[in-house]
Each structure stands twice: as C-alpha cells, then as structure tokens.
Amino acid sequence: MTIEEELKRLEPVIQRFSSMALIGKKIVIKGKENFVKKGPNIIIGNHIGTFKDAATLFKVVPRQIFWTSNKLVFDKHDLNRLIRKHFKRHLKDFGLFLDLIFSPLKSLFTSYFAQTIKKAGAIPVDMEQKTRTAMEHCHEYLKKGRAIIALQGWGRVMKKEPNPYVHTFKRGTSILTYNLHEYEGISIPVTPVAMFGTQVPFLVPTKIKINVGEPMYITDYLGDGFTDSVERFREALEENVKSLLFDILKW
C-alpha cells in the first residue's frame, strides 16, 4: 500500500480527531482559492496552536498533505508529556487536573496517534539537532508531487519575539526550493498561510481565522548565489506571513 493510499484510508479517522481537537472553535478562511490543488507544494505558516494548527489545516487544505513534525510526537510517551506540558502552560493547575481526568482517553489517543502519524507519511524532525535526513525526505516527497506542511515556530505564542505570533522563519523551505530549482529543474510553489485563534486553549470557544496568500517562487528572489537567494526568499516568506496576519487582525 502506498503512502497516499494509507492516508486516504485514514482520512475519516483524521477528520474525526481534527474535529475533536477543534471543539468550540469555528474556522473562518480567506484566500482558500490560493491553495495549490495538485503537484509539488510547500505550505508554510506560523505555528502558535500546537495540535490545533494541524487539525485546522487538515480541515481546510483541499488535498492530501504531509507533515514535517517534531520527532517527539512519533513516540506515545513523548507525546503524552507534550500534551501534559501544553495543558499546564495554558491552563495552569486546572490544566493538570484536566490531564489527570482525561488520562485514560489520552493514553489511547497517544498510542493511536503515534502509530498513525508514521503510517500517514509524516516526516520526523529533530528540533534540537541537524535536519539533514528530514530535508532529504522532503526533497523526495516534493519530487513525487506531494504537498508538505512546514510550519514555523514552537507551537505557541512567543512573547519575547518581535512578533509573538510569527516566529523567525528557518531556511529549510528556501533551501529545498533553491536546490530543486537548481539541480532538478522543478519550480516549487510555496503557499504562505497565517493563522490566528489556534493559540486559544483546547475547549475554549473562539474563531480560528486563516488567511491564505498567493503561491511564491524562489525564482522571483534569486540573487548572488545560494546564500543570498535562500536568505532573500526566507525573508520574503516570513514578511508575507506577517502581512497576512496583520490583515487577519482587521477582520
């Protein structure tokens, strides 16, 4: 069975889990027509709502998507600790109480999720180490015409950042698109997405606002060699997502 076939088989379950993760939330989206419907694509955006970001994109992207994900979510014990940390960070002592109350259900969820995310073709990324292996996987996925999600940030609002809702972008997406253009002759559309509202804690009602920009291409930002081109594109992607976010705040 191919990864695409496995993902299609899991689609009903993924949608149910996504709905559970977004209980109390209403999604409002602008620019949905800008999503690339087929062929290689990278969807890049801010990452402020942990699992709610993933659930939201599963709801709104009109095609199969593959994730670059923190390698900790591939292990049920590590994932359990991440969820507990999330509850504590956002809800303090009440979060720890919820974690205890939902412990049996959470144990079933983490076991299933850790197994499922592997089958669904997600790409594990070591957030503390070099990401060469993950980059190689992404390179191959894009050559096969797949759409990859590459969110930027730590899954929460970073209050000490100049823009707390848009973490400084890393160079990974720019490097991938540069190398695929230079060595494979493939021009990869990169779709910028801004999200606001996913940072609101689980079960707390709110609107999740999504703003999808037009695809961007490394070819429009080529400069004096690899380093200059990659930095130009990285900066442009970050600034575009910031602009999309500022537009959301006017809604």
Tell me the pLDDT tens digit for each residue of 27-41: 999 999 999 999 999
CB 173, CB 190: distance < 8 Å: yes
The C-alpha atoms of residue 251 and residue 152 are separated, in whole angstroms, by 23
The C-alpha atoms of residue 183 and residue 180 are separated, in whole angstroms, by 6
CATH number at residue 216: 3.40.1130.10
pLDDT number for residue 98: 64
Residue at 122 is within a domain: no
- Which H or E element spans position 192? strand 190-196
Residue 175: name the closest of 131, 212, 144 by CA: 131
pLDDT of 54 > 80? The answer is: yes
pTM for the whole structure: 0.85
The C-alpha atoms of residue 221 and residue 241 are separated, in whole angstroms, by 16
pLDDT number for residue 19: 94
* Antiparallel, parallel or unpaired: β 206-212 and 190-196: antiparallel
For 203, left (φ over 0), alpha (ψ -120 to 50), or beta?
A: left
Residue at 11 is within a domain: yes
Residue at 24 is within a domain: yes
pLDDT number for residue 67: 87
Residue at 112 is within a domain: no
- Phi, psi values for residue 223, rounded to 5°: -125, -140
Residue at 235 is within a domain: yes
Residue at 103 is within a domain: no
For tokens 């070099």, name the residue: 130
Residue at 217 is within a domain: yes
pLDDT number for residue 124: 74
pLDDT number for residue 104: 63
Q: Which domain holds residue 207?
A: 3-70+132-248
Q: How many domains does the chain have?
A: 1
pLDDT number for residue 142: 97
pLDDT band at 160 (very low <50, low <70, confident <90, very high): confident
More confident residue, 114 or 138: 138
For 25, left (φ over 0), alpha (ψ -120 to 50), or beta?
A: beta
- Tens of pLDDT along 56-112? 999 999 999 998 876 666 666 666 676 777 677 766 777 676 667 667 665 665 665
Q: How are the residues of the chain apportioned to helix, strand and coil, as percentages rounded to the nearest 5? A: 55, 15, 30
pLDDT number for residue 63: 97
The C-alpha atoms of residue 245 and residue 193 are separated, in whole angstroms, by 8
Instruction: Share the mean pLDDT of the chain.
Output: 88
Residue at 90 is within a domain: no
pLDDT band at 119 (very low <50, low <70, confident <90, very high): low
For tokens 């199969």, name the residue: 64
pLDDT number for residue 161: 85
pLDDT of 155 > 80? The answer is: yes
pLDDT band at 209 (very low <50, low <70, confident <90, very high): very high
Mean pLDDT of 13-32: 93
Tell me if residue 96 falls in helix, strand or coil. helix
- One-letter amino acid of 31: G
Please give the share of the chain, as a percent, with pLDDT higher than 90. 60
The C-alpha atoms of residue 244 and residue 121 are separated, in whole angstroms, by 29
More confident residue, 21 or 111: 21
